[in-house]
Amino acid sequence: MKRFVRLFAELDQTTRTNAKVDALARYFQDAPEPDRLWTIALLSGRRPKRTVQAGRLREWAAERAGLPLWLFEESYPIVGDLAETIALILPDARRDSDLSLSDWIDVVRGLGAMAEADRKAAILDAWDRLPARARFVFNKLITGGFRMGVSQKLMTRALSRATGIEEPDLAHRLMGEWRPETTSFDALIRAPDPSAELSKPYPFYLAYQLDDGPWKLDTPPADWAAERKWDGIRGQLVLRGGERFLWSRGEELMTDRFPELASLADFAPPGTVIDGEVLAWRGDTPMSFNALQKRIGRKTVPKKLLEEAPVIVQAYDLLEDRGEDIRALPFAERRARLDALVADLPDEAPLKASPLLSFETWDELAAIRAGSRAHNAEGVMLKRRDAPYRDGRRKGDWWKWKVDPLVIDAVMIYAQQGHGRRANLFTDFTFAVWDGLPGEGALVPFTKAYSGLTDAEFRKITHWVRRNTLERYGPVRQVAPEHVFEIAFEGIQESPRHKSGVALRFPRMARWRHDKPPAEANTLTDLKEMLDAHG
């Protein structure tokens, strides 16, 4: 644990990429293998599940520190992190511990099966054996919210340096549904189990946003292929050994959520891996994301919903062809193989090739992009024809050119403090539009947003909130309806759960409209018209 805590401190104290990679590489060379494995798991999102309620931790920490609970509760928003607040208020440890990271994780995992009195005793014992920084790390593990400020890409780079294994190979080995409890460092990294390869996807290739359009790209339009950027769930369809597996971009196995894709194991040849988009589909047309969203998060899908929102995979790319990894081939060749594969499928197969767009100039592509919402698409994708399929987010070969967001002007009516480094600032806001004539009707809340402003703007609005609070509801403050913000969002849909009747997709604050008084903000009627046009 001491070695891991030193690594945590090194990573926390620098923003330099090379310094983080150096620290991780040293750790992967020296740490015991069980600790290396758990560190890889933590950095790739495979954290132990929460085993203790946050409320209990607050009570026990306040009791051990000899503080009234109200004082702890007042301190928590200022610190902005529960694990750190607990670590700061507890008295110094009276004993020492030589347990390793994996040993302490075993302790954390065992808490869930204990009676509450035993769980409390075990946690108090741990707090009494760990110094402040190690206690902070332990608290993070208990709460299930462990973060180290290191991307999986950086971790893979450091692991490559420590082991001598190429980064793309490591990225592939770390994909899939492995858990530290069921594998070893040697089996995962040094000598992967061939039997585990059946369901394993490849690392996803991610595109950068093309903010200023393609006119400044260093090669002509003829060097690029374009297709629509569909508004669904990015996924990887793996067909091996007569079975099918569907992985999300976040490495979540979602096969059972889309049973209509089962027939693809019969239609497509084994050894096929496809990168594509899961879309709700009716006839020859994609349905809105709202239709697909009704199925997201469901473990089982009722028959009625299967009929209302059937899905297909709209294929972008072919990564494995009859068992051959073809990611190193140029996109044009991979695409030709994909088209040939799809052409051999029966019409009823729930797999289509995403059509390539025909254009000769960037202006022609711009006109196609402008009509994206009419096709329930988010914009267009640009892919260099000679590009291999790489891993992670890389600039140069793949670009996403999204349509401009929808915008509406709204009045801020509630504010709440943020967390972490923004714990002392008000950063989370609720916005409203007018129900009736602007400036005369009631203000109806319709969305929340917490991103888009600069730190300076957050400081300025925080100062104003503290001087203009009308009411307090726990951590939320009602404020005078004086400020207008332009809210940008990607989509709008009907929502009976919200008083406004609508819900926005990916809302954020585009700008603070100092030039507009509240009476000039938009209305609920404006929102409903947007819903009719884009919902």
Please report whether residue 181 resides in a domain. Answer: no
- Same domain? 385 vs 412: no
As a whole number of angstroms, the distance between CA 249 and CA 96 comes to 42
As a whole number of angstroms, the distance between CA 197 and CA 202 comes to 10
Please report whether residue 154 resides in a domain. Answer: no
| Unique residue bearing structure tokens 């096929």 | 272
Q: What is the mean pLDDT of residues 172-178?
A: 84
The pairs formed by 295-298 with CB atoms below 8 angstroms and a separation of 24 or more are: 295/257, 295/258, 296/233, 296/257, 298/257
Q: How many structural domains are present in the chain? A: 3
Please report whether residue 136 resides in a domain. Answer: yes
Please report whether residue 215 resides in a domain. Answer: yes
- Same domain? 44 vs 85: yes
| 470 pLDDT more than 60 | yes
- Same domain? 357 vs 467: no
Dig out the tokens for 189 from the structure.
């990294």
- Same domain? 352 vs 491: no
Please report whether residue 385 resides in a domain. Answer: yes
- Give the CATH number of the domain where residue 425 resides: 2.40.50.140
Residue 507's alpha-carbon distances to 293, 407, 452, in angstroms, are: 17, 9, 9
Mean pLDDT of the chain: 90
User: Could you tell me what percent of the chain has a pLDDT over 70?
Assistant: 98
Which residues lie across from 492 on neighbouring strands?
A: 504
How many residues make up the chain in this entry?
A: 535
The runs of H, that is alpha helices, within 112-203 are: 116-129, 132-143, 152-163, 167-173, 185
The three-class DSSP label of residue 229 is strand
| 511 pLDDT more than 90 | yes
Query: Taking Cα atoms as reference points, which of 341, 112, 353, 342 lies closest to residue 230?
Result: 353
Q: What is the mean pLDDT of residues 221-239?
A: 95
| 430 pLDDT more than 90 | yes
Q: Supply the angle between the helices 33-43 and 152-163 in degrees, to the nearest 10.
A: 150
Which domain does 430 fall in, by range?
406-534
Which residues lie across from 380 on neighbouring strands?
A: 228, 401
Q: Name the amino acid, one letter, at 419.
A: H
Q: Give the β-pairing of 377-384 and 398-402.
A: antiparallel
Confidence bin at 491 (pLDDT 50/70/90)? confident
- Same domain? 398 vs 413: no
pLDDT at 192: 67
pLDDT at 188: 87
Please report whether residue 119 resides in a domain. Answer: yes
Please report whether residue 331 resides in a domain. Answer: yes
DSSP per residue, 441-488: SEEEEEEEE--SS-HHHHHHHHHHHHHSEEEEETTEEEE-S--EEEEE
DSSP per residue, 276-308: EEEEEEETTEEPPHHHHHTTTT-SS--HHHHHH
Q: Supply the angle between the helices 2-12 and 132-143 in degrees, to the nearest 10.
A: 90
For residue range 212-227, list pLDDT tens digits in order.
899 999 899 999 999 9
- Same domain? 375 vs 428: no
Please report whether residue 395 resides in a domain. Answer: yes
- Same domain? 391 vs 497: no
- Give the CATH number of the domain where residue 269 resides: 3.30.470.30
| Unique residue bearing structure tokens 């009627």 | 525
- Same domain? 388 vs 424: no
- Same domain? 386 vs 443: no
As a whole number of angstroms, the distance between CA 162 and CA 22 comes to 10
Last residue of a domain, one of 90, 117, 143: 143
- Give the CATH number of the domain where residue 12 resides: 1.10.3260.10
Last residue of a domain, one of 402, 422, 450: 402
Which sequence positions are flagged as catalytic? Answer: 229
